[in-house]
């Protein structure tokens, strides 16, 4: 059995991923999804692309991955946004939800098994049931304002994920000063009592009308869909505290036994843009849509996001995107060349054993740099062979088969190329004739005409090659 090792935030160590007893090859994966009050930005997508790489690699290694990603469709910002636009909550979030799925597709993210939304009646019911369980066990209380809070003093393990000792904490700047109703300042909201600003947003509960706190949403949806113990839970580093800490507290206190909530916690570092923290005020805030408008493609953005190890800060730059474009073009050209060399021979010869290093690098906590190094070394080596005419068709086919496996993980192959229009085909035929007759002027004119139609012609050793401009 191949051992995939990952860095577990809980233990701060590299640990081999082993399925739960009784589960042969199935792993559950819960990933915190977007809050759909706006378009997700590339920082959000960095986390989703990392999770996608993880899922795809686990699948390559033979695991069946059951993945759930939640959608947070109710929180302060969402309510404010809906209120400001005069729309019902669901009408306000719907376009952002649809946009998220489109963006995910553009970035080639494998769809999750389920995308529960916080406002789904079924999920609200689960949250209420979980809060009720916490109340019964003395882990929660209702404050004077009607809101329910988690009693952190009742859970000694609180802080084990972030490795924080609340005693030593300096209060953060965002502690709301009006939360005097709580027993302890660190106690977090499970259920927020309805207030006038909430307008039409609210659900009935045993404790009165209100809405769920953010943390309970994930706890309820994760355990509701994947069971009491989840194998892998991912998110951004900023979620470690308090969000994931709170999730642990809720699940392990409401649970039926001493079942740990999550076995492997994985967190993705932040993304910076041009060297600084991404912020609207700094003018370096990008959604995927912004980048597509600038002419970048989904796979270029994917490459830029995927090519830096997930636990290191990623500095996202236009230069980085340009590098992604060049590297992808090189991979594309190589794949085409291999395809030509492969011909239609049925025989397949396995590539050099070192190519397996691509996958063993990823086994090591998703060492993408090491994996890409193997990919490019293989590229150069086989190009040399082809230059010298040494690469046999069975060898080329072996490399293509390997490349297909590699791309099952990277998902960086070009989109299906658009069919060449008849008009362009005719011009190409004319141009080929002109070239054969060495009528260079005519050849150049035809190249211009083809360019006007939106296609670029390049003359290679083996004739003309056109691509959509």
Partner RNA sequence: GGCGGGGUAGCCAAGUGGUAAGGCCGGGCUCUGCAAAAGCCCCAUGCGACGGUUCGAUUCCGUCCCCCGCCUCCA
Within residues 393-422, the interface with RNA by CB under 7 A covers none
Total Cβ atoms within 10 A of residue 84 = 9
Per CB under 7 A, 326 contacts RNA: yes
Site string for RNA, 175-214 (x = CB under 7 A): xx--------xxxxx--x--------------------xx
Contact, 301 vs 107, CB < 8 A? Answer: yes
Q: How far apart are CA 51 and CA 421, in angstroms?
A: 39
Q: Smallest gap, in angstroms, from Cβ of residue 290 to RNA?
A: 14
Contact, 303 vs 262, CB < 8 A? Answer: no
Q: Which is nearer to RNA, 23 or 79 (CB)?
A: 79
Alpha carbon 70 to its chain centroid, in Å, reads: 13
Question: Under rule CB under 7 A, which residues in 233-262 are in contact with RNA?
Answer: 235-243
Q: Within 13 Å and on the Cβ side, how many CA atoms surround 440?
A: 0
Options 119-127, 339-347, 393-401, 436-444: segment touching RNA (CB under 7 A): 436-444
Per DSSP, 274 falls in state T
Q: How far apart are CA 323 and CA 178, in angstroms?
A: 50
Options 58-66, 84-92, 114-122, 263-271: segment touching RNA (CB under 7 A): 263-271
Q: Which of 372, 290, 276, 389 minimizes the C-alpha distance to 53?
A: 372
Per DSSP, 276 falls in state E
Q: How far apart are CA 225 and CA 246, in angstroms?
A: 18
Site string for RNA, 35-74 (x = CB under 7 A): x-----x-xx-xx---------------------------
Question: Under rule CB under 7 A, which residues in 218-237 are in contact with RNA?
Answer: 235-237
Q: Smallest gap, in angstroms, from Cβ of residue 102 to RNA?
A: 17
Q: Which is nearer to RNA, 318 or 404 (CB)?
A: 318
Q: Within 13 Å and on the Cβ side, how many CA atoms surround 425?
A: 5
Q: Which of 208, 148, 156 minimizes the C-alpha distance to 182?
A: 148
Options 55-63, 122-130, 167-175, 339-347: segment touching RNA (CB under 7 A): 167-175
Q: Smallest gap, in angstroms, from Cβ of residue 400 to RNA?
A: 16
Options 156, 257, 281, 387; binder of RNA; rule CB under 7 A: 387
Per CB under 7 A, 353 contacts RNA: no
Options 146, 208, 370, 414; binder of RNA; rule CB under 7 A: 370
Per CB under 7 A, 278 contacts RNA: yes
Q: Which of 165, 173, 161, 312 minimizes the C-alpha distance to 243?
A: 161
Backbone angles phi, psi at 207, to 5 degrees: -110, 15
Per CB under 7 A, 75 contacts RNA: yes
Options 25, 64, 169, 339; binder of RNA; rule CB under 7 A: 169
Per CB under 7 A, 443 contacts RNA: yes
């Amino acid at each position: 059995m191949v051992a995939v090792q990952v860095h577990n935030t809980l233990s701060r160590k590299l640990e081999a991923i082993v399925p739960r007893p009784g589960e042969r090859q199935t792993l559950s994966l819960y990933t915190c999804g977007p809050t759909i009050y706006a378009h997700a930005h590339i920082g959000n997508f960095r986390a989703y692309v990392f999770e996608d790489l993880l899922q795809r690699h686990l699948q390559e290694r033979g695991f069946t991955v059951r993945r759930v990603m939640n959608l947070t469709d109710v929180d302060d910002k969402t309510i404010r946004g809906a209120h400001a636009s005069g729309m019902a909550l669901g009408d306000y979030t719907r376009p952002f939800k649809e946009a998220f799925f489109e963006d995910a597709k553009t970035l080639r993210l494998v769809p999750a098994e389920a995308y529960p939304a916080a406002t789904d009646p079924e999920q609200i019911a689960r949250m209420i049931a979980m809060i009720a369980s916490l109340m019964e066990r003395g882990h929660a209380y209702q404050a004077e304002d009607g809101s329910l809070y988690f009693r952190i003093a009742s859970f000694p393990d609180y802080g084990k994920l972030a490795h924080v000792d609340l005693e030593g904490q300096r209060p953060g700047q965002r502690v709301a000063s009006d939360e005097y109703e709580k027993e302890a300042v660190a106690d977090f909201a499970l259920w927020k009592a309805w207030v006038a600003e909430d307008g039409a947003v609210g659900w009935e509960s045993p404790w009165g009308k209100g809405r769920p706190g953010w943390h309970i949403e994930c706890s309820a949806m994760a355990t509701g869909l994947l069971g009491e113990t989840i194998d892998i839970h991912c998110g951004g580093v900023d979620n470690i505290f308090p969000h994931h800490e709170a999730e642990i507290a809720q699940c392990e206190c409401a649970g039926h036994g001493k079942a740990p909530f999550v076995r492997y916690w994985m967190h993705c570092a932040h993304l910076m843009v041009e060297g600084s923290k991404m912020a609207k005020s700094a003018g370096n805030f990008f959604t995927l849509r912004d980048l597509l408008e600038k002419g970048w493609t989904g796979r270029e953005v994917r490459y830029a996001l995927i090519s830096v190890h997930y636990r290191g800060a990623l500095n996202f730059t236009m230069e980085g995107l340009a590098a992604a474009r060049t590297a992808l073009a090189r991979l594309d050209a190589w794949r085409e060349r291999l395809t030509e060399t492969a011909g239609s021979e049925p025989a397949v010869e396995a590539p050099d054993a070192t190519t397996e290093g691509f996958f063993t690098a990823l086994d090591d906590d998703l060492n993408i740099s090491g994996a890409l190094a193997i990919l490019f070394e293989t590229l150069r080596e086989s190009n040399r062979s082809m230059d010298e005419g040494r690469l046999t068709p069975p060898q080329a086919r072996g490399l293509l088969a390997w490349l297909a496996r590699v791309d099952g993980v990277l998902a960086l192959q070009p989109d299906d190329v658009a069919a060449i229009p008849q008009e362009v085909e005719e011009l190409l035929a004319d141009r080929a004739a002109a070239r054969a007759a060495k009528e260079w002027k005519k050849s150049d004119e035809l190249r211009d005409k083809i360019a006007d139609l939106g296609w670029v012609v390049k003359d290679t050793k083996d004739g003309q090659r056109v691509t959509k401009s």
